[in-house]
Structures are given as C-alpha cells and as structure tokens.
A and B are shown apart, each in its own frame.
Chain A
Amino acid sequence: MISKKVILTGSFGVGKTSLFEQFLYSKFSQKYLTTIGVKVDKKVINVNGKELSLIIWDIAGEVKQDKVPNSYFLGTSAIIYVFDVTRKSTYEELDQDITHLKKMLPNGITAIVGNKIDLVDESFLQELKGNIPVPWDILTSAKTGENVEELFLNIGSQLLNQNT
C-alpha cells in the first residue's frame, strides 16, 4: 500500500487538531488543548477502489508559516493549510504564508481550508470571499463534520493521481 505524508498547518487555534480528530475518530471537543510539537497519526482511505495510507502530521499552530521548523515540510506530499473564518488574524497574511509553503513544497499539493463555518452564515462567507488575499479551496466545520471527509479524500485522490 502506498503511504504519503500530509501535514496540517496554519495559525494556532484554527482547528487543525479538531479536523484531524474529526477525520480520524469522528469526534469533536469544544475544549482547546493546544498542540505542542507534532502529533502524528494515520488513516487508510479508499479512493476509487485504491487504498492509500495517509500519515498525517498535526503541527502546532504558528502565526507565521516561516516559524514552522523546516524539517517538518521535508518529505511531505501534501499541505493542508487551515485558517479560521471567524478570525481575521488567521487569514490576513494568507498570501505570504502560501508563498512560503509553495517554496517549501514546490511540487506538492496544497489545500487552503477555511474552518469553523458552523459559526457564520452565507452572507458572511460572501463578504469574506471578497476580502481574502488568496481564495480558499474548501470550507469546513470540524464541529459538524461538514466537508471534512471530502477534504481528506480529495487530497487522497490527488496524491494517487500524482503517483500514477
């Protein structure tokens, strides 16, 4: 079976660990336990009948991506960059963060994820769309589970396509 390293990164408190837990164990906690260092876990997914083992690194949040230790990016096949749709500070410098990530992983897959959409309404998102420096790829809620599976399966299928 093919294994791929995927990292979850972004500012602190945006819901990286929550997305990770929702995807791996279908659970959600209101409690905020900040991640220290890294937590690694694995999930085998099935994309069009093909199995793929995702080794997911849930990294401690950093306000700026260039603060993330470079070695965490090494050997990574995909980066999931998470921001919090309710907190401007987590996306106002998105362009700089994405530039940095592209530099770290020129040929890798990057997904920009806006999380916590359960806290806002459609008109809010419309407005956000006009204000955000770089468009998002997907909007999720780790709380309700909305689009969480889709996010990871989509990454998985891109990784499998890349592999063939």
Chain B
Amino acid sequence: MEIQKSNIDPGMDEPSKLAAQHQLSDDALLFEELKETLLHEDREALRELQNILNQPEKLSQKMSPVLEKRLEDFKEAFPNDYRAILEKIISEKLANSKEELLEAIYPIMGKLIKKYIALQFDLLRERMAMRNQNSIWYKTKTRIRAFFTGTKESDIILTDLMDVEIKNVFVIQKNSGLLIAAAINDAELHTDLVAGMMTAIKSFAEDAFDRKGAELEVITYDNYQLLLENYYSYYFVVALTGTISSHQDALIHEKMNNFAARHLNRKKVKDGQFSEAISKKLKDYFIDNPKV
C-alpha cells in the first residue's frame, strides 16, 4: 500500500498567509523584549559560563575538583571492572582448551580411583590369607617358598592365581576407531581391524544399553580378557590371557593411566594417525616389561 501525501488542504489562501507572517514578526519583537526582561539574570550567567569555557585557567580551576572526584571513583571501581574482564578472558580461554584439560585430567582421575581400588585390594589380600590358613598343604608349600624366596606368603598366594600374560595392547581413537598405537604378540593380528571392530562393539554395547556416560570396561572370551580404559578422545585396550585378580586388574589399569599421562596427549591422538613411536613405547612398557 502506498501512503498518500500532500493532498491535505493547508486551509489558507495566499493573502491571508502573508498577513499572518507580518503579524508574527511584530509578535516576535515583543516576545524578544519580554525574554530579555525576564531572563536577564540567566543570560548574565550564561555569558559568565562562556567566559569560563573560553579561558583554560579558569576552566581547569573549576574542573579539577570534579575530575579528581571522578578519578577517585574510578580507582575504587577499577578492581571490580578489571576482575570481571579478566575472569571473562580466563573462562573463555578455559572453554577453548576444555578438551585439552579433559585429556589431561582423565588419567589423573583414573589414578585416584585406582588408588582407592588398590586399598580395597589390600583388605582382600588379608582376607585371602586368612582363608588359606585352613589348608595345611597349601600353607606348608607357601611357607617353604616364602622361606626360600623371601617373599611374603600372601604375595605368593596372589601370584599363584595370576598366570597372566599381556598379549596385545592398543591405543585407539574413540569415535573413529582409528588405531593410534599397537604392541602385539600375535603377529597375524590385523591391528587396524581389531581397532575398528573393538570400537564398533564398544559403540554397540554402549548404545544398546543406552547408559549415558557409561563405557564398556571389559570384554571376555575364552581365556582372553580385554581390559579397556577410556580417556577423553581415545581408549586403551590390554588383551591378556589367564585369570586376573582384582589387584592385578587395578595394577594394569594403573599402568595404562601412567602410560597415558606420560606419553599420550590430545595433540598426538587428535588426527587419528598411527604412531610408530608410541607403539614402540607401548611395547617397552607393556610387553617387554610385563611386570605389573
């Protein structure tokens, strides 16, 4: 729709307009006189003000106290304003490096949790020692071994249960299932495929049970056990044979945490490419030094 304009009749013809104008100028003069009388004082003040404004010394004399007051206020308020800005910068920085932080925190958190588990294990160890006191044959055997080897009896009981051997270790990028590093004993193992399949199985299991935030931690088949330790953008898999005790389980997890904290970080894992260097370290740490 268009807006119509200029078709409004101004309502006066030419001669009467002129007359009005004439009248107005007379009135204006009168009005001016009236203003001068009424506003005389105000006008004086205005002139004085203009005077001050035009002379710098006079101006500064007047302004200084005001500026000083303002500066005082500013000094007082400054730390608050400053802090707010600084906090904003810091929180932005943190938000941007959130992923890096999480990556660093995961192994440490894992360690703390594992420490607790280790403590629980000590209690278990004591209980086990108690239980075995009943078996005379076992008692004698371990006594003799303890005598010759100088190991604590309870430790021997433990090691008997743990003919565990670490066979293969993988570090896998979480979402893509791309292999970051691997140390393997079984030469014919297709590491890329294991990494992909592991990830698919893991995703499937986690999705199927729809447990938000829950992550698969162990897969067992035959006498093979796969221990998983999840980090922010990658996860560890240690494949081992033998029956594992909860203590040993805790130790292997601790080993993974230590390795993660020392040798893995977001930068190394981010692009999901295979690393020979990390693989070699894995081999040193898990396969060549199987002691856990």
Contacts and interface: CB of A to CB of B under 8 A. Distances in A.
> Are chains A and B native binding partners rather than an unrelated pairing?
yes
B193 A41 contact: yes
A124 interface: no
**Size bracket, chain A contacts:** 20 to 34
B177 interface: yes
B175 A71 contact: yes
Interface stretch (B61-69, B86-94, B194-202, B281-289): B194-202
Given A5-B177, A75-B176, A37 B272 contact: no
Contact of A75 (B174, B192, B204): B174
Interface string A62-80: 0000000111101111000
A37 B203 CA distance: 10
B178 interface: yes
A39 B196 CA distance: 9
Contacts, number: 67
A41 B195 CA distance: 10
Interface centre among B190, B196, B197 (most CB of A within 10 A): B196
B24 to A, nearest CB: 71
B72 interface: no
A16 B177 CA distance: 20
A37 B196 contact: no
A3 B197 contact: no
Given A3-B272, A57-B196, A57-B200, A74 B175 contact: yes
B177 A40 contact: yes
Interface string B248-286: 000000000000000000000000111000000000000
Given A42-B193, A55-B192, A74 B207 contact: no
B200 A38 contact: yes
Contact of B178 (A39, A55, A71): A55
Given A38-B197, A55-B178, A71-B175, 17 more contacts: A3-B192, A3-B274, A5-B176, A5-B196, A5-B272, A37-B200, A37-B201, A40-B197, A40-B199, A40-B200, A41-B193, A42-B192, A42-B193, A55-B176, A75-B175, A75-B176, A75-B178
Interface of A: 1-5, 37-42, 53, 55, 57, 69-72, 74-77
23 contacts: A2-B273, A3-B178, A3-B272, A5-B176, A37-B201, A38-B200, A39-B197, A40-B197, A41-B193, A42-B192, A53-B192, A57-B196, A57-B200, A69-B207, A70-B207, A71-B204, A71-B207, A74-B174, A74-B175, A75-B176, A75-B177, A75-B178, A76-B176
Interface of B: 173-179, 190, 192-193, 196-197, 199-201, 203-204, 206-207, 272-274
- Nearest 8 CB-CB pairs, A to B? A75-B176, A75-B175, A40-B196, A74-B175, A71-B203, A38-B200, A69-B207, A5-B176
